[in-house]
Structure formats: structure tokens, C-alpha cells
Structure 1
Amino acid sequence: MVTKPSKSERKSMYDGKLCKLLDSYTQILIVAADNVGSNQLQNIRKGLRGDSIVLMGKNTMMKRSIRAHAEKTGNKDFLSLVPHLVDNVGLIFTKGDLKEVSDEVGKHKVGAPARVGLIAPIDVVVPPGNTGLDPSQTSFFQVLNIPTKINKGTVEIITPVELIKKGEKVGSSESALLSKLGIKPFSYGLVVLSVYDNGSVFSPEVLYLTDDDLVAKFAAGLSMVSSLSLALSYPSLAAAPHMFINGYKNVLAVSVETDYSYPQAEEVKEYLKDPSKFAVAAVPADAASSAAAPAAAAAEEKEEPAEESDDEPIFSLFDE
């Protein structure tokens, strides 16, 4: 007879498994598991099989095991996971590419009907068109103020209707109508909430940053450092080019207003005295067109090929 392990034994086994995973993996995805069924979770495990392990459990048990393991090993990095273990969440331990693992998790979403009392995660819009329902079902549409017409013995929705707004509870009428129309408006699966990587926890949006995004963010930060340095007159590598240019402008301004001069300022002073010296002689448009006309005419004139002479002898087929 096979005896089932006791509750304390199951806790001990879970604690040992979690601690072993913490020692073996440095990358963890914290995922929300609301409305995820056992079959769906099994498919996700199959899709991640190879370099990733999905571990679910009660938050209190996971927090206790992580705190005990951090105290035992002296590695306090794991404690950054504790504040994120809220509500119905799980952990995905992985040694693969975090973005690829996150994409794989996102593939395993399944459609779900709008059950009564459920909070809508998205807006639900009923599209126009033939519903296939007979005219006796018009009461559902009338209750929800959906404009319809009878077309060839079936109910047809005239215009798109926003049936449920995001954040609202699904009512019985909305649920019944969507069920009759065969619409499953919601989809559920594991949702990546946070990413743990060697002691750092960050948003999953970081995984999808491109090189252009990083360059833009670096440029924005560099601009802020440069602006702050200039405002405080504090020299920095980012502000140095601007400081040199501003300094040169000041020296040039002093040279222009006084008798003091230096080679680089001579040209500026000369220009201020007589700007006409630096004006480029522009050719009038009419003169340019008239000058170009003979050349164009000459280009168009081509030597005509010599015509064949009528005096040339005509050979007969019978001449030898």
C-alpha cells in the first residue's frame, strides 16, 4: 500500500525543491497565473521543457523558503523576490534567453468565455453582421440596446457595439448573449510580471528594448547631464564641447567690440565691415537661359544620315 506523504513532509519536499532551484538558476520570471487551468499549465511546461522549470505554490510557503535559504546561504539577493510574491503568482526558473522564454509563455493563451461576475480584462465589442439567431432571440439585443434588423429570417446586428468595458463586471445578459454568439472575448495564460536576474528585479518591458531604444535613452541621459553641467558651470565630459564653444563665442564677441584681434577673428571683422565682399555673384536666370539656348539648339542639331542615291545600279536577279 502506497502511503501519501504528510503535510509537513510535502512542505519539506517543496522547500528542498525550491532551494535547489535557487542554487541552480540565476534567472527567474515571476508570472501571474489567474484563470490558468491545469491542462494549460501542463502545455506551458511542455513548451518550456529543456532549459526552464515552472514552479507554483502558495505565496507564504515560497516566501518562507526563500527567507530561510537566504539566511542559510548568506545570499541576500534572493530576498528581492519576496515583495513580488503577491496574489496568484508562480516562478519560472530558466537558463535560456529571457526574451525567448517570455515569448514562449505568451504563446500558450487560450480563449475563455465571459463568465458572470468576471472582471473584464479588455473592452468587448460585438461586431456587426448576421448572428444566425432566429427573431425570437431579439429580446437579448433589446435589453442591451443593440440595434438589430431581421434579414432573411435571422437577426443581424447593424453597427458595432461596445458591450463590456475594461474593468467592469460581466453581467448575466452580456454573458448569455456572448455565449449565444459563440464569442470567447477573453484569453488567459501566464503573464510575466517581473524578471529576476542575478539579484536585480526589473520590468519585462526591458527585454524588448532594441539597440535604437538604448541609444535614444543614452542620448537623452547625456543631454540631461550636459544641461545640468552647463547650468551649474561644472565641467564634465558631456558639457566640455559646449563650454569650449561658449567660451570661444565670448572671446570672439570681445574681439569684435574692441581693437583686440587674432587671426580667427579677422575674417569675422572683415565681413562685418563690408558684407558685399563675401557675396557670391549670382547669374540672372534670363541670362543663364539665353546662354543655354544656343548650346541646347546645337545639341539638338544632329547630322542627318545621307540618303541613298537613285543613281546606284540596280541589280537583277538574272545578272551574273
Structure 2
Amino acid sequence: MAIKLSKAEKKVEYDKKLCRLLDEYTKVLIAAADNVGSNQLQNIRKGLRGDSIILMGKNTLIRRCIKIHAEKSGNKDYLNLLPLLVGNVGLIFTKGDLKEVSEEVAKYKVGAPARVGLVAPIDVVVPPGNTGLDPSQTSFFQVLNIPTKINKGTVEIITPVELIKKGDKVGSSEAALLSKLGIRPFSYGLIIQSVYDSGSVFSPEVLDLTEDDLIERFASGVSVVTSLSLALSYPTLAAAPHMFINAYKNVLAVALATEYSFPQAEQVKEYLKDPSKFAVAAPVAAADTSAAAPAAAKEEEKKDEPAEESDDEIGFSLFDE
């Protein structure tokens, strides 16, 4: 028979478990758990079993445990978790890849009906089409100003209608209509709100970034640094190549305008003295093309000349008697 622990003993055990997890794991996903049932949460635990552990509890108790553990261990990084403990949230401690764990958690969303008084997390749109309801049910549609018609003894919705807007509370009429239509518009599950990794806290959108996104962001940052450095004439690694090229252009311009010269300017001066040297030898292909052009022209001329017909082919001769 299991011994039932007192409330104080449960807090002590919970504190030990949380401290052990903080020491063992360096990566934590903070997830909102609104409208998540116990069975659904159990399925998520099974799906994450192996590399991850889900810990639920009161925010005040978790904050207290983290503060005490941070003071005892001397690791102040844990304190970055405190501002994230707002609302109905849970902690997912993991040793796996953060993106993979986040995607695994997202798989366990379940559909839910629109209950009266519930705040809609998304817009709810009723699609057009046959509802399968008999004409006596038209009162629901009339109350909600949904255009309908009777088609083959059933109610048919003519156009799509935005029934509930995101952030609005679900009314009794909307809930009853969606129930009759068999529409379960909402889905609930653990929603990752923040990511903690070795003291750093960032948004879960960062997990979706690819290497191409990082390269693009880095290139954009380098471009900004380069522009700023050139505008301020402040040397940086990003702006150094451009500064050297601009300096070379300035010195070259001085050398061309004066008798001063240096090795890199000699060839440019030589070209300016004799512009014909700018001409590059034509490629072999171009030479072949130019050589073949007269031959092609001759062949075309031959084709244009009409073939001379012999008198014999015409059927008479100038010398026929």
C-alpha cells in the first residue's frame, strides 16, 4: 500500500525533482498548456519519452525552487526562467534537438468543439454548401444572419460566413450551430512560447531558421556594417576591401592626371596613349563565323538565281525549221 505524502512532503519531493532536472538538463521549452486534458498530456509524455521530461506545477512553487537552487548552486542562469513562468505553462526539459522536440509536441493537437464563453483562438468561418439540416433549422441561420436557401429539402449555405472572430467569446447560438454542423473549429495542445538554452532565452521562431536564412541575415548585417564604416571613414574588416579599392582609384586618378606613376598605373597609361590596345583578339569562334559568312552569302546568291531552262525542256528550239 502506497504511503500518502503530506502537502509539505510533496513540496519537498517536487523541489528535489526540479533541482535534479535543472542540474541534468541545459535546454528547456516553456509551453502553454491551456485547455490540454490529462489524457492528451499523457500521450505527449509518451511521445517524448527518452530524451525529454514534462514538468507541470504551480508557478509560485517553481519560482521558489529555482531561486533557492540558483543561490545554492551559484548558477544565476536559471533566473532567466522566472519571467517566462506566466499563466498556465509547463516546462519541457530535453537533451534532444530543440526543433525536433518542438515538432513532436505539435503533433499532439486535438480538435475541440466551440464551447459557450470560450475565447476563440482563431477565426471561425462556416463554409458554403449543403448542411444536411431540415428546413425547420433555419432559425439558427437567421439569428446569425447567414444567407441560406432550401435545396432538395435541406438547408444550404449560399456564401462563406465569418461566424466568430479571433479573440471573441463564443455565444450560445454560434456554439449550437457549429455543433449541429459537426464542426470542431479549435485545436488544442502544448504551444511552445519560449526556449531556454544554457542561460539564453529566445523565441521559438528561431528554431525554424535554416542555414540559408542565417547566411542571408549575416550578409545583410555585413552590408550594413560596411555602409556605416564607409560613411564614417572608420576601418573595419567588412569595409577594408572597399577602402583599398577606393584608395587605388584615387591614386590612379592622380597618376593619370600628372606625370607621377607607379607600376599598377603603367598599363592604364599605356592603354590611354594607344586606345587600339583595348581591342581584344577576337575569339576563334568569331573568326570562324566571319569566315563562314561569305560562303553562306554565296550559297544564298546561288539559291536566289533562277535555274536556266533549256530550250529542249520547253519543247521547241530556235533553230527548228
With normalisation by structure 2, the TM-score equals 0.84
- Partner SS, residue 194 of structure 1: strand
The CA distance in 1 between the partners of 2:276 and 2:147, in whole Å, is 76
- CA distance in 2 between counterparts of 1:117 and 1:296 reads 87
Per the TM alignment, residue 261 of structure 1 is displaced from its structure 2 partner at its CA by 3.8
1:89-104 superposed matches below 5 A: 89-104=89-104
Q: For each residue in 1:3-35, what CA deviation from the matched residue of structure 2 results, as whole angstroms up to 9, or x when unmatched?
A: 522111111111111111111111111110001
Is 1:137–2:141 an aligned residue pair? no
Letter matched to residue 292 of structure 1:
A
Which residue in 1 is equivalent to 2:170? 170
SS state of the match for residue 184, structure 1?
coil
CA–CA separation in structure 2 for the residues paired with 1:129 and 1:74: 64
Distance (Å, rounded) in 1 between the aligned partners of 2:174 and 2:205: 34
Distance of 1:275 and 1:162 partners within structure 2: 73
> Aligned residue for 1:8?
8
How far apart in 2 are the matches of 1:171 and 1:275? 85
Taking the TM superposition and a 5 Å limit, the aligned residue runs for 1:38-77 are 38-77=38-77
Tell me the distance in 1 between the aligned counterparts of 2:196 and 2:187.
26
Question: For the structure 1 residues 14 and 249, does the alpha-carbon distance in structure 2 shift closer, same or farther, using more than 3 Å as the test?
Answer: same
SS at match of 1:54: strand
Counterpart AA for 1:189: G
User: Which residue of 1 is the match for residue 257 of structure 2?
Assistant: 257
1:4 aligned counterpart, secondary structure: coil
User: 1:292 — aligned with what?
Assistant: 296
Q: Which residue of 1 aligns with 2:125?
A: 125
CA spacing shift, 1:134–1:275, aligned 2, 3 Å: farther
Whole-Å separation in 2 of the counterparts to 1:106 and 1:163: 26
The 3-state SS of whatever aligns with 1:5 is: coil
Unpaired stretches in structure 2, ≥5 consecutive residues: 303-321
- Quote the residue 2:212 is aligned against: 212
State how far apart, in whole Å, the 1-side matches of 2:168 and 2:102 are: 28
1:274/1:135 CA distance change after superposition, 3 Å: farther
Paired AA for residue 140 in structure 1: F
Amino acid at match of 1:102: S
Unpaired runs of 5+ residues, structure 1, are 299-320
* Counterparts in 2 of 1:5 and 1:233: CA distance versus 1, 3 Å: same
Measured in 2, the distance between the counterparts of 1:297 and 1:24 equals 90
The one-letter amino acid of 2:191's match is V
TM-score, normalised via structure 1 length: 0.85
| Counterpart in the other structure of 1:309 | none
Deviations along 1:120-159, one digit per CA (max 9) or x if unpaired, are 1111111111100111111111121211111110011111
Q: Residue 166 and residue 276 in structure 1: after superposition, are their counterparts in 2 closer, same or farther (change >3 A)?
A: farther
Amino acid at match of 2:96: G
Q: Deviations over 1:256-315 (max 9, x none)?
A: 3334344544555566678677468999x99986642446899xxxxxxxxxxxxxxxxx
Distance 1:60 1:251 in 2: 70
Say whether 1:85 aligns with 2:85: yes
How many angstroms apart in 2 are the aligned matches of 1:144 and 1:272?
Answer: 83
Deviates more, 1:49-58 or 1:4-13: 4-13
